[in-house]
Amino acid sequence: MSLSRHFRRVLTAAVVMTATAVTTAAPAFAASVIPSSWTASYAGAQAGGTTSYVQDPFGVTRTVTVKGVIKTGSATGCFQAVIDAQGTSWRSPTTCSGETAQSFLTTFKAVAIGQAPSVRLCSASGTSACGAAVPLW
């Protein structure tokens, strides 16, 4: 076998192995998750929505999108969803009893390792009264 023929075989094998490695690693580069649903409640009011995220190529951080709606139903008072993301909190717009259901959307970055971000439905009256925290993944 000539040297050039041997070189072509080695090169072909290297290309095939590299293509296989890239193909099997591809999901890590395109780690987008189908939206998952969540629900939270407090004092008769309900909040619910979806969470989806896109993971960075190295699997360290996630860009998280949370969509939701707050419905007061027969509850009295004002309510807001509070998203806790590893030391940072985000509050949705307030929805009060008798108002139309208020929807919200937020996007933030979170570290993929460690405590998962969570959402709680809280009283918007300036107190820290809230329902149970619901993990977002």
Q: pLDDT, tens digit, for every residue of 99-134? A: 999 899 999 999 888 889 999 999 998 778 999 999
The tokens describing 110, both together, are 């979170």
Query: What pLDDT is attached to residue 5?
Result: 59
| Full-model pTM | 0.73
10 Å CB burial of residue 95 (0-12, 13-18, 19+) is buried
**Rounded CA gap, 123 and 121, in Å?**
7
Which pLDDT score, from 0 to 100, does residue 81 have? 97
Contact 94, 124 (CB under 8 A): yes
Tokens of 28: 């890590």
Give the number of other Cβ atoms within 10 Å of residue 134's Cβ.
Answer: 18
| pLDDT tens figures, 5-25 | 554 564 454 444 444 444 344
Residue 30 has pLDDT above 80, yes or no: no
pLDDT at 25: 44
Query: From CA 37, how far away is CA 60, in angstroms rounded?
Result: 23
- Report whether pLDDT(28) > 50: no
